[in-house]
C-alpha cells in the first residue's frame, strides 16, 4: 500500500441493517459492507489511467499493468513485513461494525457544549464507527499500545464477530465461559498476534488523520522494529519524521546485560510534504543561562538578548565576507588570516585565500544590522580578530540575538525526550489520588502535541487511552495557550483485577479510571481559574467531557449465525417486528444516526417542532431527523418546507401507511431532498 496515497472516504464500518435482515431502507451512504474499492478511489484510479477503463466503469487489470510498465514489481521475493494472519487483517478492516456509541450524560461534564469525548469500548470497533465522522479531521493521534512484553493484556480480536467478542468480554451478552488473557511469549504466534492487533487499528486510524496530521506511537524495544516496518507500510517510509528516545528512568538493576532506561516514540506524518516544520518552546533553563544581556539603550532598550561572534572559525571562505570593520576607537579589525592589503579602510574587501577567516555576514548586511542596533563591540584581550598588520586586535565584534525573536521562532526539538520519566507520571496520578501504574506523563503528551502543532480547535485522538493522559494533556495545553484542544480518548473497560490497588480504590475497569481522572483534572482546572476574568464567555475554555459506551446497534441486525430451524427463524422474525432494540432512548438513536450520517457525535442538535411532531435539526438544518412513530402528511410537508439536504425518519413512522411513505418520498424528491428511513 502506498503510504502517501490519499485514501477515499472508507466504506467500512457502521451498518445497522443486514442484506438478509429486515427491510431497512439504508441509503447508499449507510452501506458499509463493501469489500471492494470505494467509488471515489476507483474514479481516482481511472482518472490517472483512463487507458485501463473497461466496460461498466470497471478496471481492465492487464491494461493497467501495461500502463504501469516497469513500475510493476514482478519479482517473487519482495521486501516487506509478513506474519501469520496478515491477510485476515484486511477482512478485519473491511468487516463493518454492528455497534453504536451510547451516550452516557450522567458520567459526563457539560454534555451540551463540550467537544471532548471519552469512549468506553474496544478501539477497533470504535475506530470503525468514527470513520465517517472524523475522516481526515484529526490533527494528531498519540497512542501508547501494549508493548508486547509477554505480560500485557492483548484484547482478542475475532474479526468474524468482533462486536460479539466485545459484548461477551464486557458481560453485555453471555460469555459462554470464554477467558481472555495475556499474549504469552511462549505462544508460537507471539509477534504475529500483536501485529494482527495493531495493523487494522493503525490502518483505520491513518484514515482519520488530516493531511497535515501526525501519528505518534510510544513503543518499547520488543516491537520497535516490527512497528516501524508496519508504519512504513501503512503511512510510507518517507513520512517517518523520527524515532524519539524517551528516558523512562535512570539506572536500575533489571535485565541481564543492560537495564532498559528508554522507550521510543515513533512519529509519522500523514504527508511530510504538507506538515510544517516542528518547533518547541525555548526552555526557561536556556533563557536563564544564555539570554543574560539586557539592552541598555537603543530602539530595543530593556530587551533580553545573547551575543554571538560575527567571526566564526568554521565558516567556509566566501569571497565577499572578509573585510575591515572599524571599532569604536577607530581600530580596524578583520578575521585572522594571512592576506592583508597594504592600505586598509573600513568596509574594504580582502579576497580570502586558503586558511583566511571570514565574517558571517557580507559588509552590506553588517551595515544594515549595525544600523538596527544588532552589532555589539566588546573590548577584549582574548579576541582572535586581528588588525591590518596581522597583530592581535583589542576588540571583538558580536551580533545580537534577541530573545523575543527566538521565542517566536521556537527551537528545533531534539529527539531525546528527557524530563518525562515514569516517576513523573506516578507523581502526577498520586496528586490526583488515582492509582494506576502504566501511565505516561501528561507533560510528555503535551510536549508532543505542542511540537506537532496542535493548535486552536485541532482534535487529538488516543485510542489506547489508559488513564487518560492525552485528555489531561489537551486540557492543560488549552489552559496554557488559550482556546480549545478537543480530544477523543478510547479505552477498553479492561478489568482492574480484584486484588489491585485500582480495584480497591473503587475502579472496576481502566475506563473508569480514565473518566474519573479527566473529571478530576477538569475540576482542578476550573477551581484554579475560579474568579478569573479570562473565563468569561469569549475565551471560555472547553472543560467538558462527553462519555459514550460501545454497545450493539440500536437497530436489530439479522443474525445469520443463529442455528437453523423454524423456531429460531420464527423467533428472529418476531424480534424484528420492531427493529429498534428495546430500552434505547431517542438520544441513543440520534447518536447513531449522526455517526451514520458522517457527523461527529458532538454535533450540536436543535430540537424543533414540525407540524406538532418533534424533530432535530443538525448542522444548521442540513440534516433533519424525525423519530416520530406516527408521521403525517402535514409533518412531511413541514419538513420539506424547511429545505434540508436530507431527511431521516424511522421506518416505524410509516407503519401501516405505505401511501404516506410513497408520498413522502415523492415530496422530498421533487424538492431535491435526500430521504432515508431507518
Ligand atoms: C499502556 S496503556 C496506556 C496508558 C496511557 N498512555 C496512560 O498514560 O495512562 C494501554 C492501554 O490500552 C488499553 N487497550 C488494550 N487493548 C485495547 C483495545 N482493544 N481497545 C481499547 N483499549 C485497549 C489497555 O486497557 C491499556 O489501558
Identify the band that residue 670 occupies on the pLDDT scale cut at 50, 70 and 90: very high
Q: Are residues 375 and 400 in contact, defined by beta-carbon separation less than 8 angstroms?
A: yes
Q: Which residues of 67-98 are buried (b: 16+ CB within 10 A; e: fewer)?
A: eeeeeeeeeeeeeebebebbeebeebbbbbbb
Q: Are residues 646 and 676 in contact, defined by beta-carbon separation less than 8 angstroms?
A: yes
Q: Are residues 321 and 358 in contact, defined by beta-carbon separation less than 8 angstroms?
A: yes
Q: What is the mean pLDDT of the chain?
A: 89
H runs (alpha helix) in 376-533:
403-409, 422-431, 442-451, 469-481, 501-504, 510-529
Mutation choice for ligand 1 from 101, 423, 444, 464, CB with most ligand atoms inside 8 A: 464
Assigned CATH topology for domain 566-677: Rossmann fold (3.40.50)
Per the DSSP assignment, residues forming a β-bridge with 53 are 59
Contacts (Cβ under 8 Å, ≥6 apart) of 448: 140, 142, 216, 265, 267
Q: Which range has the worst mean pLDDT, 168-182, 206-220, 609-623?
A: 168-182
Identify the band that residue 404 occupies on the pLDDT scale cut at 50, 70 and 90: very high
CA 205 from chain center: how many Å? 8
Whether residue 667 has pLDDT greater than 90: yes
Cα(511) to ligand 1 centroid in Å equals: 9
CA 127 from chain center: how many Å? 12
pLDDT, mean of residues 339-367: 94
pLDDT tens profile 90-109: 999 998 899 999 999 999 99
What per-residue confidence (pLDDT) applies to 31? 34
> φ, ψ for residue 37 (rounded to 5)?
-65, 145
For residue 218, what is the DSSP state? E
Nearest in space to 143 (alpha carbons), one of 414, 445, 524: 445
Mutation choice for ligand 1 from 494, 496, 509, 512, CB with most ligand atoms inside 8 A: 494
Neighbour-count burial of 258, counting CB atoms closer than 10 A to its CB (0-12 exposed, 13-18 middle, 19+ buried) = exposed
Within 10 angstroms of residue 143's Cβ, the number of other Cβ atoms is 23
pLDDT tens profile 196-242: 999 999 999 999 999 999 999 999 999 999 999 999 999 999 999 99
Whether residue 565 has pLDDT greater than 60: yes
pTM: 0.83
Whether residue 270 has pLDDT greater than 70: yes
Q: How far apart are CA 571 and CA 562, in angstroms?
A: 10
pLDDT, mean of residues 579-608: 94
Per the DSSP assignment, residues forming a β-bridge with 677 are 649
Q: For cell 441493517, name the residue.
A: 17
Q: Are strands 99-103 and 646-649 parallel, antiparallel or unpaired?
A: unpaired
Whether residue 111 has pLDDT greater than 90: yes
pLDDT, mean of residues 405-415: 92
What per-residue confidence (pLDDT) applies to 534? 54
What per-residue confidence (pLDDT) applies to 531? 75
3-state secondary structure 463-509: CCCCCCHHHHHHHHHHHHHCCCCCEEEEECCCECCCCCHHHHCCCCE
Ligand 1 within 6 A of CB of 21: no
Ligand 1 within 6 A of CB of 473: no
Per the DSSP assignment, residues forming a β-bridge with 417 are 246
Identify the band that residue 5 occupies on the pLDDT scale cut at 50, 70 and 90: very low
CA 444 from chain center: how many Å? 15
Q: How far apart are CA 467 and CA 515, in angstroms?
A: 8
Within 10 angstroms of residue 225's Cβ, the number of other Cβ atoms is 12
> φ, ψ for residue 378 (rounded to 5)?
-130, 125
Ligand 1 within 6 A of CB of 435: no
What percentage of the chain has pLDDT greater than the value 90? 69
Identify the band that residue 182 occupies on the pLDDT scale cut at 50, 70 and 90: confident
Ligand 1 within 6 A of CB of 492: yes
Identify the band that residue 562 occupies on the pLDDT scale cut at 50, 70 and 90: low
pLDDT, mean of residues 286-296: 94
Whether residue 6 has pLDDT greater than 60: no
> Which long-range contacts link 536-541 to residues 24+ away (Cβ below 8 Å)?
539/482, 539/483, 541/475, 541/478, 541/479, 541/482, 541/483, 541/484
Reduced to 3 states, what is the DSSP secondary structure of residue 627? coil
Q: How far apart are CA 389 and CA 191, in angstroms?
A: 72
H runs (alpha helix) in 183-280:
190-208, 221-235
Between 154 and 3, the more confident residue is: 154
Which CATH number describes the domain made up of 86-280+412-552? 3.40.50.150
Ligand 1 within 6 A of CB of 196: no
3-state secondary structure 289-319: HHCCEECCCCCCCCCEEEEEECECCCCCCCC
- Give yes or no on whether 86-280+412-552 and 566-677 have one common fold: yes
Q: For cell 459492507, name the residue.
A: 33
Reduced to 3 states, what is the DSSP secondary structure of residue 216? strand
Ligand 1 within 6 A of CB of 144: yes
pLDDT, mean of residues 456-478: 98
What per-residue confidence (pLDDT) applies to 78? 78
pLDDT, mean of residues 294-301: 89
Helical (H) or strand (E) element with 97: none
Give me the residue spans of the domains in the chain: 86-280+412-552, 304-400, 566-677
What per-residue confidence (pLDDT) applies to 152? 86
Amino acid at each position: 500500500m502506498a503510504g502517501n496515497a490519499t485514501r477515499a472516504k472508507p466504506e467500512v464500518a457502521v451498518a445497522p441493517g443486514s442484506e438478509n435482515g429486515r427491510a431497512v431502507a439504508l441509503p447508499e451512504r449507510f452501506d458499509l459492507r463493501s469489500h471492494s474499492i470505494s467509488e471515489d478511489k476507483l474514479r481516482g484510479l481511472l482518472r490517472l489511467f483512463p487507458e485501463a477503463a473497461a466496460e461498466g466503469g470497471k478496471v481492465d487489470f492487464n491494461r493497467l499493468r501495461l500502463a504501469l510498465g516497469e513500475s510493476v514489481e514482478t519479482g517473487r521475493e519482495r521486501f516487506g513485513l509478513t506474519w501469520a494472519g496478515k491477510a485476515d487483517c484486511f477482512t478485519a478492516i473491511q468487516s463493518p461494525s454492528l455497534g453504536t456509541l451510547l451516550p452516557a450524560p450522567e458520567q459526563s461534564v457539560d454534555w451540551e457544549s463540550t467537544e471532548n469525548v471519552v469512549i468506553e469500548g474496544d478501539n477497533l470497533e470504535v475506530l470503525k464507527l468514527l470513520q465517517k465522522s472524523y475522516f481526515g479531521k484529526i490533527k494528531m493521534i498519540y497512542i501508547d499500545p501494549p508493548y508486547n512484553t509477554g505480560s500485557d493484556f492483548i484484547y482478542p480480536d475475532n474479526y468474524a464477530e468482533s462486536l460479539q467478542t466485545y459484548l461477551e468480554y464486557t458481560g453485555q451478552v453471555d460469555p459462554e465461559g470464554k477467558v481472555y488473557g495475556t499474549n504469552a511469549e511462549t505462544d508460537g504466534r507471539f509477534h504475529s498476534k500483536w501485529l494482527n492487533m495493531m495493523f487494522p487499528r493503525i490502518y483505520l486510524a491513518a484514515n482519520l488523520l488530516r493531511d497535515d496530521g501526525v501519528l505518534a506511537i510510544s513503543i518499547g524495544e520488543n516491537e520497535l522494529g516490527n512497528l516501524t516496518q508496519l508504519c512504513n507500510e501503512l503511512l510510507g517510509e518517507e513520512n517517518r519524521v523520527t524515532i524519539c528516545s524517551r528516558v523512562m528512568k535512570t539506572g536500575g538493576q533489571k535485565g541481564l546485560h543492560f537495564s532498559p532506561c528508554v522507550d521510543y516514540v515513533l512519529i509519522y506524518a500523514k504527508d511530510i510534504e504538507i506538515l510544517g516544520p516542528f518547533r518547541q518552546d525555548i526552555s526557561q533553563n536556556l533563557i536563564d543561562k544564555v539570554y543574560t544581556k539586557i539592552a541598555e539603550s537603543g530602539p530595543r532598550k530593556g530587551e533580553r538578548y545573547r551575543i554571538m561572534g560575527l567571526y566564526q572559525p568554521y565558516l567556509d571562505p566566501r569571497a565577499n565576507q572578509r573585510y575591515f570593520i572599524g571599532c569604536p576607537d577607530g581600530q580596524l579589525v578583520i578575521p585572522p588570516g594571512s592576506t592583508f592589503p597594504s592600505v586598509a579602510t573600513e568596509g574594504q574587501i580582502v579576497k580570502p585565500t586558503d586558511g583566511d577567516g571570514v565574517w558571517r555576514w557580507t559588509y552590506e548586511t553588517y551595515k544594515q544590522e549595525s544600523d538596527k542596533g544588532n552589532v555589539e563591540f566588546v573590548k577584549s584581550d582574548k579576541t582572535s580578530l586581528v588588525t591590518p598588520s596581522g597583530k592581535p586586535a583589542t576588540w571583538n565584534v558580536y551580533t545580537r540575538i534577541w530573545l523575543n525573536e527566538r521565542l517566536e521562532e521556537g527551537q528545533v526539538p531534539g529527539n531525546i525526550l528527557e524530563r518525562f520519566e515514569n516517576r513523573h507520571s506516578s507523581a502526577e496520578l498520586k496528586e490526583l489520588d488515582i492509582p494506576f501504574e502504566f501511565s505516561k506523563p501528561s507533560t510528555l503528551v503535551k510536549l508532543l502535541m505542542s511540537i506537532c502543532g496542535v493548535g486552536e480547535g485541532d482534535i487529538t485522538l488516543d485510542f489506547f487511552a489508559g488513564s487518560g493522559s492525552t485528555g489531561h494533556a489537551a486540557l492543560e495545553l488549552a489552559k496554557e495557550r488559550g482556546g480549545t484542544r478537543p480530544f477523543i480518548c478510547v479505552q477498553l473497560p479492561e478489568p482492574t483485577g480484584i486484588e489491585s490497588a485500582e480495584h480497591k480504590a473503587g475502579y472496576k475497569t481502566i475506563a473508569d479510571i480514565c473518566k474519573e481522572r479527566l473529571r478530576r483534572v477538569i475540576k482542578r482546572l476550573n477551581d484554579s481559574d475560579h474568579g478569573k476574568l479570562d473565563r468569561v464567555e469569549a475565551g471560555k475554555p472547553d472543560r467538558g467531557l462527553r462519555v459514550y459506551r460501545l454497545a450493539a446497534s440500536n437497530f436489530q441486525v439479522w443474525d445469520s449465525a443463529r442455528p437453523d430451524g423454524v423456531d429460531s427463524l420464527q423467533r428472529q422474525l418476531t424480534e424484528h417486528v420492531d427493529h429498534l432494540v428495546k430500552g434505547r432512548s431517542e438520544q441513543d438513536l440520534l447518536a447513531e444516526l449522526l455517526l451514520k450520517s458522517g457527523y461527529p457525535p458532538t454535533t450540536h442538535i436543535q430540537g424543533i417542532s414540525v407540524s406538532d411532531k418533534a424533530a432535530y435539526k443538525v448542522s444548521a438544518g442540513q440534516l433533519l431527523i424525525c423519530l416520530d412513530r406516527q408521521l403525517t402528511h402535514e409533518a412531511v410537508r413541514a419538513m420539506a418546507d424547511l429545505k434540508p439536504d436530507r431527511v431521516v425518519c424511522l421506518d416505524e413512522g410509516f407503519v401501516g401507511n405505505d401511501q404516506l411513505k410513497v408520498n413522502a418520498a415523492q415530496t422530498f424528491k421533487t424538492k431535491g431532498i435526500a430521504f432515508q428511513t431507518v
